[in-house]
Every structure is written in C-alpha cells, then in structure tokens.
Amino acid sequence: MGHSKIKRLAVFLALVFLFPAQAAAVREVVPIGHTAGIRMKSEGVLVVRLDTVQTADGERCPARDAGVREGDIIVSAGGTEVSSNAELQSALKAAQGGAVELSIKRGDETHSVQITACTDQTGVYRLGILARDSMAGIGTLTFADPQTGVFGSLGHGICDAETGVLLPLSEGDLIYSTVETVTRGKSGAPGALQGDFSDARPIGTVTKNTVHGIFGTLSDLSLLSGQGALPVAARDEIQTGDAEIIANIDGDKVQRYSVQIVRLYPENDEYGRGMMLHVTDKTLLAQTGGILQGMSGSPVVQNGRLIGAVTHVLVDDPASGYAICIDDMLREAESVA
C-alpha cells in the first residue's frame, strides 16, 4: 500500500489458507473481535534511517558510503547472524575499527557490502543508521480455528512506520489486552484505542507476518469461550448492504456494531481492498467517531457468515474504511504450522 494515492485516502490501523472459493464457503471458524497486545522481534535489523555521526574529524555516514539504503535489512555482520541492535553493535565492537562484511536483504535480493564503522565522540562504533529490531502494539484478533487454535489478526501486515517495509518476523507473541482509553477519530486525524497488556498473561505465538495479516497459534483459548463458530463466505457471496463488525472498544467487552458495505472491489484490486464499509451504528459513532487505529482485524459479519476484517480508516471520514475479504486471510492461515 505504498502508493501515494492510497496514503492520501487511508491509513493502516496500526498498533499505537490456500482454499478454493467453494471450500471457504463451508469452512467454520470462531470470530473473535477482542484486542490483543502484539510483540514481535525482527529477523535481522531493519535500517529505518541513515544518519550522520559526529566524529572527531567531522560528520560521517559509513552506511551511506558503503551503499546501504533505508529499508534494507541487515541479516548478518562479519559472518554472524544478527537479529538485534545489540548483536549488530557487538559485531562492530569485535572488528575494532576494521572492515566488516554485512549481508543485506533488499526486497527479494541479498547483497553483501564491506563497511568500516566510525567512532562517535564517546568512542562507540557507529554505522550512521537508525535501526529497528522489534515492535509492540495493540490490534484486534479476527478469528481462530477452535480445533487447532490457529488464528488470524489485523488483516494487513505489520510494517515499519517510516520505511513501509514489512517487518521480517523472527518471533512474536500475543498478550491478553484490555482497552483503557479511546481517542475519538475526526476528519484528518484518525482516532486510536489505547490498550493495556501485561506479560502475566500470554495467549499465543505469532509465526507469520504477511500483507494479509499476522498469524499464529493461540495457547489460551479462553477468548473463544461461549463464542460460536461461523461459516466463512467466499468472495462472490459478499454483498453490498447491511453487515456488522465485532469490536472491543471498552475494557474487555466485545460487541457487534452495524455497518453498511457500500462497495466491493475485484479480487485483483491494486491496493488489496476487499470492500468499503461505512459505520451506521449510533453507539459506535458516539463513542469513537467510527473506525479507530487498533480496531484493525475486527471481524465483519454478514448474513450469519464471516466475510472479512477491518483494515483501514479513511483519513477524511473516520466513519468509513476498508476491509479485507476473509478468504485472503484464510489462505495465509492454512500454512501455519
């Protein structure tokens, strides 16, 4: 979704199954709609920004000089795999100012560069990069298979906010969350859910971060208690008209809210949209202004079937947004080990 047009229209609701169509129409999963804390560690170190380093001899940026770019993922340094800033720093320190070979992923390609770190005014070795190796935030669980515990959430991938690069996942986990406060959305300023999640109650592991959402396995099935499974709709069964979203906007209460599906998009839509929806529920509009960041993943239900998950909010109209079709998420969930 890196196109400028879609950026003007909508924002990702960020964290502040290879089925044929006929199989998806009869598959049943449990829609959830409860928020969860999400923590992920990167596979490699993501270069978010190139910065200059103040040295005794003036400003330098070894990374830029070596051809490193913003959005690159450093996967090894000096022949040793790195998955954190601390591991990268250790490799630079071990080289003691000598040249270090970095292995870098850039899109689908891997490159090797030779780089010599400089020392800043405190004597620390620097490459001249701002790097990211982890993230944490809140999102909404979309569904789970009651037999296997396999879940899907968000409906879009977790990307670095500055580079737009999909965070390469090393490991991740889900933490039980409650909604503490709500920042109401308004035109030009999408609102957000603020969640509280504690290390005391992990509820699952995240094993995939894809453009269609995050996926993994629940270890605690308590969020499914009392929730009935629903059949999932094939794309061609989704209609414009009345529907509901299932969302958690207050404490740990999960409720259904009325929406209208106002437009359907073709399967090959360039932005990955499945449908456009508009919130009609007066209670939800009064409390939130519509769709909020953190509601990403909220299940969309129509005619007793799970049809998709909320993914975006329109910046200029927080009562409206986009959703992904559920079969896109099910394709990814099918391969969760």
User: What's at 122, amino acid-wise?
Assistant: T
- Between CA 158 and CA 58 the distance in angstroms is 37
In 3-state terms, what secondary structure has residue 2? coil
Q: Taking a C-beta distance cutoff of 8 angstroms, is the pair 311, 324 a contact? A: yes
Is 217 buried (19+), middle (13-18) or exposed (0-12) by CB count in 10 A?
A: middle
In 3-state terms, what secondary structure has residue 311? strand
As annotated, the active-site residues are 156, 281, 296
Q: H/E element holding 322?
A: strand 317-325
| Nearest alpha-carbon partner for 239 in 159, 152, 303, 183 | 303
Helices (H) and strands (E) in the chain, counts: 6, 23
